[in-house]
């Protein structure tokens, strides 16, 4: 047991202290943070661990008027996630054919396994909380939590399935959305264009440094690592909004009869319970759940 505790401490040291982004990612990441905040916010402990000395570099810009606080949202609604889920999202026959064609091209082994397993309907998948949240659903959750229309949102992730048509309702409700693609110049993004993991690193920096981080899929490795980093370095001041998709599915199932005040109450209760930072239970990843004596005692 004693050896195991020291092994856990070593894993924490490697994950949260020794592991650093290379200078080119730190440099562009610091530019991204400054532009999201419109050059007005002072550096935080999270910033220092994410981008090191680069957060202190001056770019010669005057402070712009506007909000310095922002919410980062990891909206997992990419085509591979959508297709793999086997869920339906209201697009009818065209959507079903498009997603099936994508599965046949990219997930042939997955389709082969499906032939040997009992089928489950898209409606049952949704009731079990196995469907990715749509942009419309994510917007409703944020509104239910009390985020106003002027909320400044950094949107992380790859291209949204359905693109502009799928994001139309979200954009109407929350028009102040920025991404790394419209905050960084083509020249600044060019070194990362062909490296998805490096692009994800820039999103990681923007999400980990946010005033509030919201995810739509608690099982995502990216979201889990961001929330673990914020738990470890955030000193209790870096909230993460984590949905319980099974409970959320039950709430949305009632959307034909549920009143807005009831919807708000149930969503806030669900998120509040998910925000409680509990001690890591046995078998849980120490990277996702660093709250344990072996990890949070940073001076060992």
Across 202-212, average pLDDT: 96
- Confidence grade of residue 3 (pLDDT, cut at 50, 70, 90): low
Q: What is the pLDDT of residues 34-57, one digit of tens each?
A: 999 887 666 677 888 899 888 774
At residue 256, the pLDDT reads: 66
At residue 117, the pLDDT reads: 83
Q: What is the pLDDT of residues 142-178, one digit of tens each?
A: 999 999 999 999 999 878 998 888 999 999 999 999 9
Neighbours of 46 (CB within 10 A): 22
Q: What is the pLDDT of residues 100-149, one digit of tens each?
A: 999 999 999 999 888 888 888 999 999 999 999 999 999 999 999 999 99
Instruction: Work out the burial of residue 215: count CB atoms within 10 Å of its CB; fewer than 13 is exposed, 13-18 middle, 19 or more buried.
Output: buried
- Confidence grade of residue 299 (pLDDT, cut at 50, 70, 90): very low
- Confidence grade of residue 63 (pLDDT, cut at 50, 70, 90): very low
Residue 26 backbone class (left: φ over 0; alpha: ψ -120 to 50; beta: rest): alpha
DSSP the chain: -HHHHHHHHHHHIIIIII----HHHHHHHHHHHHHHTTT-SPP-HHHHHHHGGGGG---SPPPPSS----EEEE----HHHHHHHT---S-HHHHHHHHHHHHHHH-HHHHHHHHTS----HHHHHHTT-SPPPHHHHHHHHHHTT--TT--EEEESSPPTTHHHHHHHHHHH---EE-HHHHS-HHHHGGGTT-HHHHHHHHHHHHHTSSEEEES-TT-HHHHHHHHHHHHHSTT---EE---HHHHHHHHHTTTT--HHHHHHHHHHHHHHHH--PPPPTTS-TTT---SHHHH-TT-
Residue 246: is its pLDDT beyond 60? Answer: yes
Q: Are 203 and 222 contacting, i.e. CB atoms less than 8 angstroms apart?
A: yes
**What is the β-pairing status of strands 153-156 and 177-178?**
parallel
Residue 184: is its pLDDT beyond 90? Answer: yes
Q: How far apart are CA 38 and CA 66, in angstroms?
A: 7
Mean pLDDT of the chain: 86
What percent of the chain has pLDDT above 90? 53
State which of 62-71, 100-109, 212-221, 265-274 shows the largest mean pLDDT: 100-109
Residues sharing a CB contact under 8 Å with residue 209, sequence separation 6 or more, in sequence order = 33, 44, 46, 47, 50, 72
What percent of the chain has pLDDT above 70? 87
- pTM of the full structure: 0.88
């Amino acid at each position: 047991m004693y050896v195991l505790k020291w092994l856990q401490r070593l894993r924490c040291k490697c994950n949260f202290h020794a592991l650093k982004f290379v200078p080119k990612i730190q440099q562009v990441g610091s530019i991204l943070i400054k532009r999201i905040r419109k050059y007005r916010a002072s550096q935080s402990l999270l910033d220092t661990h994410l981008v090191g000395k680069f957060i202190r570099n001056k770019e010669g810009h005057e402070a712009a008027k506007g909000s310095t606080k922002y919410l980062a949202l990891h909206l997992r609604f990419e085509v591979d996630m959508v297709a793999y889920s086997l869920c339906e999202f209201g697009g009818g026959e065209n959507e079903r054919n498009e997603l099936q064609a994508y599965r046949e091209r990219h997930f042939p082994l997955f389709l082969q396994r499906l032939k040997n397993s009992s089928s489950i309907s898209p409606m049952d998948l949704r009731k079990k909380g196995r469907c990715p949240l749509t942009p419309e659903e994510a917007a409703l959750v944020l509104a239910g939590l009390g985020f106003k229309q002027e909320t400044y949102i950094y949107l992380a992730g790859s291209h949204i399935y359905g693109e502009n048509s799928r994001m139309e309702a979200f954009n109407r409700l929350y028009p102040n959305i920025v991404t790394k693609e419209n905050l960084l110049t083509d020249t600044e993004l060019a070194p990362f264009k062909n490296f998805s993991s490096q692009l994800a690193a820039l999103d990681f920096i923007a999400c980990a440094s946010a005033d509030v981080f919201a995810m739509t899929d608690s099982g995502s490795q990216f979201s889990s690592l961001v929330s673990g980093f914020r738990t470890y370095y955030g000193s209790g001041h870096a909230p993460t909004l984590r949905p319980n998709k099974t409970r959320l599915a039950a709430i949305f199932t009632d959307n034909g009869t549920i009143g807005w005040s009831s919807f708000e109450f149930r969503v806030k209760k669900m998120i509040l319970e998910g925000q409680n930072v509990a001690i890591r239970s046995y078998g849980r990843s120490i990277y996702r759940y660093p709250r344990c004596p072996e990890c949070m005692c940073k001076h060992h």
